[in-house]
Amino acid sequence: MDQNLQHAFGASANASTDSLAVVRHRVLRNTYWLLALSMIPTVAGAWLGVQFKFTMFAGSPMIGFIAFLAIAFGFFYAIEKTKDSGLGVAVLLGFTFFMGLMLSRLISHTLGYSNGPALIMTAFGGTATIMGVMATVATVSKRDFSGLGKFLFAGVLVILVASVANIFLHLPALQLAVSVIAIAIFSAYILVDVQQVINGGETNYISATLNIYLDVYNIFANLLSLLGIFGGSRD
């Protein structure tokens, strides 16, 4: 009887493990699909922003920065409240459209170079490569990357402070340093965010998509900025 009970409990545990694995796989799959879908409104927002020369308080960068944070955190709140319904997908896609608009100024600046389109495609390819490599490492590695989270968050705070300071200082060297550090930090964040889904720490694909989208967005924006600094041509 004891052996029968042990077999029964063992079978139950195996079934439970299999069920958890299926759920995690589904969340990861849905996350990747929604991440791919989120690129459409991002590109649309960037294109419209370029066409209509969108700027947010261009005459006052500090006010523009504060307005951006207010709108972004408003979206974060709305996404959190709706993440368990289909409305959450719509709100997330609305946020990615807004982020595309915010990217349009950098895109316009880059298109001012004679090799601007090539720089944009290089940044896109570089970002896709970083995403692929980091997601693969997070998937196959046995190492737990969750401990990096608090250090990476501290790094993000440093980047924010440096970015605000550079609104007034206008130091090219500081901008360069911020971009390099940002690429490193958000690349590492992909490890944390993807592994969180794989390990079951994040079970909502909308929240998971938001986290990874922000990683990818920041890598692309900062990589494009660096390429413009070092590879932009006015010829």
**Contact status, residue 52 vs residue 101, Cβ threshold 8 Å:** no
Concatenating the DSSP letter of every residue in 79-143 gives HHHHTTSHHHHHHHHHHHHHHHHHHHHHHHHHHTSTTHHHHHHHHHHHHHHHHHHHHHHHHH--S
pLDDT in tens, 54-108: 887 666 888 888 999 999 999 999 999 999 999 999 999 999 999 999 999 999 9
Among the listed residues 159, 23, 164, 40, the one whose alpha carbon sits nearest the alpha carbon of residue 92: 40
Q: How far apart are CA 223 and CA 219, in angstroms?
A: 6
Q: What is the mean pLDDT of residues 36-45?
A: 97
* pTM for the predicted model, two decimal places: 0.90
pLDDT for res 9: 44
pLDDT tens digits, 115-146 = 999 999 999 999 999 999 999 999 999 899 98
Q: How many domains does the chain divide into?
A: 1
**Domain hosting residue 186, numbered range:** 2-231
CA–CA gap between residue 121 and residue 199 (Å, rounded): 33
In whole angstroms, give the CA distance from residue 54 to residue 52: 6
